[in-house]
Structure 1
Amino acid sequence: MKQLSLKKLKLSDEDNFRKNFIWNMLGMTFNSFNSLFYMVIVTRINGTNEAGIFTLAFSVACLVYYIGIYSGRVYQVTDQNGIISDKEYILQRVVCFVLLLLISVFYCIFNQYSGDELVIFLLLCLMKGFEALSDVFYGVMQKHNELYRVGVSLFLKSLISIISFLVLDLVTKNLIISILFMDLAWIVVFLIYDIPRTSVFLEKREKVCLHHIRDLFLTGFYIFIVNFLSVYIVNAPKYAAGGLLSNSFQAIFGIILMPATLMSLAVQYFIQPYLLQLSNHFVNGEIKKFNSLILKLLMIIILFGIICLIGVYFFGIPILSLIYGIDLNAYRFDLEIIIIGSVLYPMSIILSSALTTVNITFLQFILYLITTTFSFFICPILISNFKVSGASFAYLCTMLVHFILYFGTYVFLFKRNILFKYKK
């Protein structure tokens, strides 16, 4: 009888893991592919000039997003000591949301944006702000083993926002109105789904300690810097191209970079469901299981990357040209270069998640600082001399340097038995 109960419990855990994995993958897929759909819609309806503005604005919004999430959900979910409550995590994220909005405004003022360009930048930053705010509620759901609800939320937001964006842009051909309704979709689902689904897990009488929120900012600082720089290095060629290429060429580079962006986002399919397992292996001192799981995730990315590389070689340019309505045959080699780089970066993300789980953060800050410095100098040089091809090579070089740094660091820590000597 006892064995039967244990068997049922095991099956229940497996079913719950499967449900979490499937819904999380579905939600992340729609959320990841939305940026692709937005670019297709803007390019076809509004033209390459506005598509170039949208591409740069969306990239900046993705950068300030990491101000909004600060230390991020990985740190929140893998925090096993229970000292900081869910309410305190949420309040800290609200402060970050306000900072995100203020910094977005200052960024636009500094760059002297005005008119439609100013409004487009601010609206996209607002959308990413609510995405960051939602993420802390997702962390609460995930800690209570309800990751599938995160997938449902992302699915609803992505589907409603892309439909509203498409319909309104077709009717009005006005980017501002289209983005405004896209923002409203995120806000409405956040209010009617995220908050009610999370509130059941919050202790209503639990007090909030301001010094805990202060501690969150202090202990999560290096993770924040790592997350922020991670977005910068992925988009460094795009930011550099903003001052060196015309809007049309920016749009073209944004199009051929899109598959790489999707691959970088898609790695979260594999990481998120395994975060609790990584954390448990760490807490239990199961270093062999910990490393086996990391190796498994790396092999999945490599296999996925090989399939993508072959598929893109034969079908990438024709499909992108058909989707966007632009002749991209001159950029076939550039696309292959970018795909190779896009395989290296997700592997770095997996190694980064492993180091974050075992609370190695300052060292990651150093690794990202090295990569950022490298990309800061190499991107303008290559883009100035080789235009779009230079941007593609700059992306590959940056990703290669980043992966070598992370892989070498992880192997060094593992061989020296340092990996499990840190505790949160």
Structure 2
Amino acid sequence: MKKNMRNDYNGGKKLSMKQSILWNSWGSMFYLGCQWLLTILVVRISGVDNAGLLSLAMSVSNIWYSLAVYGMRNFQVSDTNEKYSNGLYISSRIFTGSAALFGCIIYTLVLSYSSEQKLCIIIYFVYKLSEALFDVFAGIYQKMWRLDYVGKSLTIRGVLTLGTFSAALFLSGNLVITLLIMTVCCLLSVCLYDIHFAGKITNIRICWDKKKIKELLIECFPLVVYTMLSTAIGTIPRLFIERYLGNYKLGIYGSVATPTLIIQMGATYIFNPFVTLFAERYHQKNKKGFLNALFLCSASVAGLAVAGVIGGKLLGKWGLGLLLGEEVAAHSDLLIPLILCTVLTAFAWLLCGVLTAIRDFKGLVAGNAAAVAVSYFSSVIMVKRYDMQGGSVALALATIVEIIFLALCLARCVHENFAVKGQVED
């Protein structure tokens, strides 16, 4: 039998906040870089049409991925009282992942996609399921303050993803076969690395207590609604670009957008380790510590925003030409608006993480629902009027609405929680 979680934790190696951020940032940025290189390689090896096909598979899969992860990561790592066991989080992820796979298959078969599009979407989603399974183990590592395992696991996944994708696409020239090989390798990575090492530091025995699983899923239901809404905010403009402008222009738009994700995800990799800290300081009524952490995270997002805009201005067209070719670089005017959109999204994600940690699920869902409505109606108008640039305009408008709504909800919660006697100031 595995060692008890608390016994192993007390006698084991707990990383500092600095070490945790460094390991998490390294692994996450490396993995993101490998994901980014996929979109470059697909253009270089097999052309813009296949890039559009991959972009479509990613866009559709991301919606169902939201159901698979059930918005549970921030809830899991902020469950500081251990209301639910590690095994319960794992079993619930198996359940939600299976449900999401079924939904994705039905959705894909019903819509009028080509056979190749359908196969790419379904296979890529299975690849995303390996990511969803890794995510629950990453949550276990984070609660144990062992983000070194997360960094190492993401490095392995990145090498496998990039290596198998590039080799298979070069040798076969077939995107379906390429995605299938990549998916199998990444599933093996979770089984051979994450399950093994998580089991060495804590108890991960799967718990099939139906009553507790149901209780967990009901409690987290607002989070899956929020996650699906949050994903839809950015996906809707792309779906309208594909519908109104075609697969080719979606491929161009997606290719230009890919480098900007480094800014967005880089910000989240910095502030994600703080989610547990937000929960602890909020419930301890440590106002100063809570606000200091929020300021530090906000400053990190702002710093990345400035660096991203300057980098885009100075190196944007040259970088796109070098990495993606002149065909994509000809649309470098899309880059700066997309950088601004990713910065806005990163800040919105920060606010969402904080609201999850303090359990304001109503504000979380309402803010994202408002943003989805704005994204939909703006996309209908803006994509027709401004072509590909309209997708960025619609996304920016939706995200600004989301940020305002979430900030108001956070301000209300902070005022109510800390406006009592006995709060901790230090």
Q: Same fold (TM over 0.5)?
A: yes
Matching residue of 1:348: 348
Matching residue of 1:406: 406
The correspondence of residues 138-177 of structure 1 with structure 2, limited to 5 A, is 138-177=138-177
For the residue of structure 1 that corresponds to 2:327, the secondary structure is: coil
Residues 1-36 of structure 1 show CA distances to partners (whole Å, capped at 9, x for unaligned) of: xxxxxxxx9xx86x6434322221111112222332
Matching residue of 1:17: 17
1:274 aligns with 2:268: no
Count of paired positions: 410
* CA shift in 2, pair 1:400/1:260, >3 Å: farther
Work out the CA distance in 1 between the residues paired with 2:57 and 2:386. Answer: 24
Cα displacement (A) at 1:180: 1.3
Matching residue of 2:3: none
Contact kept? 1:338, 1:392, Cα under 8 Å? yes
Matching residue of 2:258: 258
| Paired AA for residue 65 in structure 1 | Y
1:238 aligns with 2:238: yes
Contact kept? 1:165, 1:181, Cα under 8 Å? yes
Contact kept? 1:287, 1:420, Cα under 8 Å? no
Q: Given the two structures, how large is their TM-score scaled by the length of structure 2?
A: 0.91
Contact kept? 1:345, 1:402, Cα under 8 Å? no
Cα displacement (A) at 1:358: 0.8
Cα displacement (A) at 1:246: 1.6
The unaligned stretches of length 5 or more in structure 2 are: 1-9, 422-426
Cα displacement (A) at 1:330: 4.9
Contact kept? 2:285, 2:417, Cα under 8 Å? no
| Paired AA for residue 164 in structure 2 | S
Work out the CA distance in 1 between the residues paired with 2:94 and 2:324. Answer: 38
For the residue of structure 2 that corresponds to 1:327, the secondary structure is: helix
Work out the CA distance in 1 between the residues paired with 2:123 and 2:75. Answer: 28
Matching residue of 1:179: 179
Work out the CA distance in 1 between the residues paired with 2:251 and 2:413. Answer: 41
Cα displacement (A) at 1:312: 0.2
The unaligned stretches of length 5 or more in structure 1 are: 1-8
The correspondence of residues 312-351 of structure 1 with structure 2, limited to 5 A, is 312-328=312-328, 330-351=330-351
Greater shift, 333-342 or 371-380, is seen at 333-342
Q: Given the two structures, how large is their TM-score scaled by the length of structure 1?
A: 0.91
For the residue of structure 1 that corresponds to 2:387, the secondary structure is: helix
| Paired AA for residue 87 in structure 2 | K
The correspondence of residues 24-173 of structure 1 with structure 2, limited to 5 A, is 24-173=24-173
Matching residue of 2:5: none
The correspondence of residues 351-366 of structure 1 with structure 2, limited to 5 A, is 351-366=351-366
Contact kept? 1:161, 1:181, Cα under 8 Å? no
Work out the CA distance in 2 between the residues paired with 1:417 and 1:378. Answer: 36
| Paired AA for residue 401 in structure 2 | V
Contact kept? 1:358, 1:420, Cα under 8 Å? no
Work out the CA distance in 1 between the residues paired with 2:206 and 2:115. Answer: 46
Contact kept? 1:66, 1:132, Cα under 8 Å? no
Work out the CA distance in 2 between the residues paired with 1:312 and 1:206. Answer: 47
| Paired AA for residue 320 in structure 2 | L
Cα displacement (A) at 1:77: 0.9
Cα displacement (A) at 1:416: 5.0
Percent identical among aligned pairs is 23
* CA shift in 2, pair 1:206/1:379, >3 Å: closer
Residues 247-268 of structure 1 show CA distances to partners (whole Å, capped at 9, x for unaligned) of: 1111111122223333222222
Contact kept? 2:141, 2:147, Cα under 8 Å? yes
Work out the CA distance in 1 between the residues paired with 2:341 and 2:83. Answer: 40
Work out the CA distance in 2 between the residues paired with 1:219 and 1:111. Answer: 32
Work out the CA distance in 2 between the residues paired with 1:314 and 1:28. Answer: 26
Contact kept? 2:255, 2:328, Cα under 8 Å? no
* CA shift in 2, pair 1:219/1:419, >3 Å: farther
Contact kept? 2:233, 2:372, Cα under 8 Å? yes
Cα displacement (A) at 1:202: 4.8
